[in-house]
Amino acid sequence: MASCYCRPSSPTSTIASPLPSSRLRAVSRSHSDRRIKDNHHDHARQNQTSAGGHSHGLSAPGLRWPGHCPRPVPEPHHGPCCPFSDLHLNSAPWTPPTDLQADIVVLAGDLNVKARGLPWPDARAMFGCDHVLAVAGNHDLFGTSIDDGMDRLRTRLASLGVTLLERDEAVVQGIRFLGCTLWTDVRLFAGADDRLVRADAAMLVGDAYSPHMRDYRQIRVAGDGYRRLRPLDTATLHHQSVEWLEGRLAAPHTGPTIVVTHHAPSARCLPAWAQQDRWSCAYASHLDWLVERYQPDAWCYGHIHDPPPNLAVGRTPLWANPRGHGDSIHDHNPSFDPYGLQQEF
């Protein structure tokens, strides 16, 4: 994906660093068929006018803007933004390719368990990038709690150079990232029927004689007597997350906006075999309306380990690059891109 935006020449970044020239070289490598060629420099050059060299990205060929340009000169290029999810490093080790280069790596949850995060002392060095952002997945909190465990995960990841987003916003090189786990409202099939919601929630919790969603056995709520997590907890967090996302998406931002969640924002993210599977209510929610209303520049999600569809809602591409459980051929994504899809802005 390559888009042209006018943004300040010195973008205000809460997490900013100069763009190393080595990062600009990343786009010229050819190890992935999905790599988008570096046409952004050329695009910016073509848009330059002879009247002061300002680029608007909106000029028709031969059309000159007045000598005074009221808008800032846009940055000519953003290097690759690389999404990963569901590395599940507790199930089988994995390390990024040594020749991976990116500006920004986005980890859409399920890195590990017990709030361990990543096993490397410096995540940025491992990914060959300047910034690593992450949201927590449900597995990241297995063996711990959804409240204290999230705090421990945030601290642990920060020590590795990773910024955890849980209803947090980070602006990196002019790109606004809005991140949260999201969880699920358990209404994928139930819709507004509360009786069906309760039935699906009971199915997820299970009992001694039936299957269950492990979230409700493996994750606790420390602030409420260290009890087991309940579907009502995750549904409440889902609604709070959607409310937060809508508020942030409604706020203007000069430059691209990328939403990062672990749970999927659309039923269309599910593989064909799971479209009518009742358990899918734990994986995706109907947030197409939110995507269509605010049209972020991308939405990055995880949680679903099947090869992701090439998907967009409106003009918003939905990115997913899950690894899956690396030790199981039945739960491993054969289309996992260890180079992180190399998405460009």
Binding site for Fe ion (CB under 5 A): 86, 110
**Nearest CB to Fe ion, comparing residues 107 and 313:** 107
Give least dist CB 323 to Fe ion, A.
Answer: 8
**Minimal distance, residue 143 CB to Fe ion, in Å:** 15
> Considering all CA atoms of the chain, what is the largest pairwise distance in Å, rounded to the nearest integer?
76
Minimum CB distance to Fe ion, residue 282 (Å): 11
Contact of 288 with 295, CB cutoff 8 Å: no
Nearest Cα residue to 165 out of 220, 112, 91, 105: 105
Minimum distance from residue 305 beta carbon to Fe ion (Å): 6
Tell me whether residue 110 or residue 166 sits nearer to Fe ion (CB atom): 110
Phi–psi pair at 107, nearest 5 degrees: -110, 110
Helix (H) or strand (E) holding 204: helix 194-205
Q: Which CB atom, from 47 or from 181, has the smaller least distance to Fe ion?
A: 181
Nearer residue to Fe ion within complex by CB, 101 or 138: 138
The answer to whether 30 and 337 are in contact (CB under 8 A) is: no
Q: Where does residue 211 fall: left (phi above 0), alpha (psi -120 to 50 degrees), or beta otherwise?
A: beta
Query: 85 or 173, CB closer to Fe ion?
Result: 85
Plot region of 13 (φ>0 → left; ψ -120 to 50 → alpha; else → beta): beta
Q: Of 181, 235, 165, which is closest to residue 204 (Cα–Cα)? A: 235
Smallest distance, Fe ion to C-beta of residue 109, A: 7
Between 110 and 185, CB nearer to Fe ion: 110
- Cβ 89 to Fe ion, closest distance in Å? 11
Encoded tokens for 206: 């299970």
